[in-house]
Amino acid sequence: MTDTEARASGTIDGGTGPGAWAVLLPAERYEAERLVHHDTLELTGLDGVTRPRPGDPVAVLVDGPPRLVALGQVAAATGETREDPDDPQSEAGPGALVVTYTRRVLDQPVPVDGLVLDGPVTGLDVATWRELADRLGPPPARRSWLVSLDLPIEAASAAEAVRLFWAYVQELGPRELPAFVSPAGDELAMQAFVLGAEANQDPEEDD
């Protein structure tokens, strides 16, 4: 399910409880989500936190100040994880909380006023979740884009140049390599992006 409203279960642990949830992303995790596309958000280290049930709707937020960056739905729970993965006798803990994205606004976060969060996972009533979802408005129309990455590479053959290209891409990634993007059919509108944001690549314009 993509860019649609998630179903609210309205229950937790078999009884009445929050029907929806707010998940707070640390700043570094938010930046990582902006750099590379993921269909799901996997969160670990939530020992002692009330666990949402599969199907519950989720609002994903970042702090300082609180902003809404995505909507999602809790996926089926993963298996238990061991405190020490190399020791099968170590104490088992709950698996990761997996949220399937249904709507993203990672590049244009929506301010959220008056919402109090009491930890990495906070229960919400469904009406509050729907109010947050309504702030996003309808999803924008999708269009075709041309994305390129040009690297000058010295090599003895075309095949070696391609191998070096992928080695550089894996090593440097979106944090260091500029990607060039333009709407299909409008190459003059090309922009360079680094770290998920537009970046000027013309040194003369910096002077």
CA atoms in the 13 A half-sphere facing the CB of 24:
18
Q: Are residues 48 and 84 in the same domain?
A: yes
Let me know if residue 16 belongs to a domain: yes
User: What is the tens place of the pLDDT at every residue in 88-101?
Assistant: 454 545 578 999 99
Q: Are residues 170 and 198 in the same domain?
A: yes
Residue-range definition of the domain harbouring residue 67:
11-134
Give the pLDDT of residue 77. 62
The answer to whether the CB of 128 falls within 8 A of the CB of 21 is no
Task: Give percent of the chain with pLDDT exceeding 70.
Answer: 78
pLDDT of 162 > 50? The answer is yes
Domain stops at, among 134, 158, 173: 134
Helices (H), 61-157: 126-134
For the question of whether the overall pTM of this predicted structure is more than 0.85, the answer is: no
User: What is the tens place of the pLDDT at every residue in 54-95?
Assistant: 999 999 999 888 999 999 999 986 555 544 444 445 454 557
Quickly state the pLDDT bin for 14 (edges 50, 70, 90): very low
Residue 62, domain CATH: 3.10.590.10
Which residues does 119 contact at the CB level (< 8 Å), separation at least 6? 24, 49
pLDDT of 15 > 70? The answer is no
Let me know if residue 197 belongs to a domain: yes
Question: Which among 149, 150, 151, 146 is positioned nearest to 188, based on CA atoms?
Answer: 146
The count of other CB atoms within 10 Å of the CB of residue 61 is: 22
Domain count, the chain: 2
* Residue indicated by tokens 């891409």: 169
- Averaged pLDDT score across all residues of the chain: 82
